Amino acid sequence: MNAMHTEEQPKIAVVTGAGSGIGRAVAVELLRAGWSVALAGRRPATLEETAALVPGAAALTARTDVSRPEEVDALFAATVERFGRLDLLFNNAGTFGPGGVPVEELPYDAWRHVVDTNLNGAFLCAQAAYRQMKEQDPRGGRIINNGSISAHTPRPMSVAYTATKHALTGLTKALSLDGRPYGIAVGQIDIGNAATDMTSRMQTGALQANGEIAPEPVMDVADVARTVRHMAELPLEANVQFATVLATAMPYVGRG
59-63 β-sheet, strand order: 59-63, 36-41, 12-16, 88-91, 141-146, 184-192, 242-246
Strand partners for 194:
219
- The secondary element (H helix, E strand) that includes residue 190 is strand 184-192
Annotated catalytic residue within 108, 161, 182, 252: 161
186: closest CA among 233, 229, 242, 131? 242
Counting runs of H as helices and runs of E as strands, what totals does the chain give?
A: 7, 9
* 182: annotated active-site residue: no
75: closest CA among 139, 113, 117, 124? 124
Strand partners for 145:
91, 188
Length of the chain: 256
93 near 16, Cβ under 8 Å? yes
Backbone φ, ψ for residue 7 (5° rounding) = -65, -30
Q: Which residues contact 150 (CB under 8 A, 6 or more apart)?
A: 158, 161, 162, 165, 166
How far apart CA 135 and CA 121 sit, in angstroms, is: 22
196 near 94, Cβ under 8 Å? no
List the catalytic residues.
161
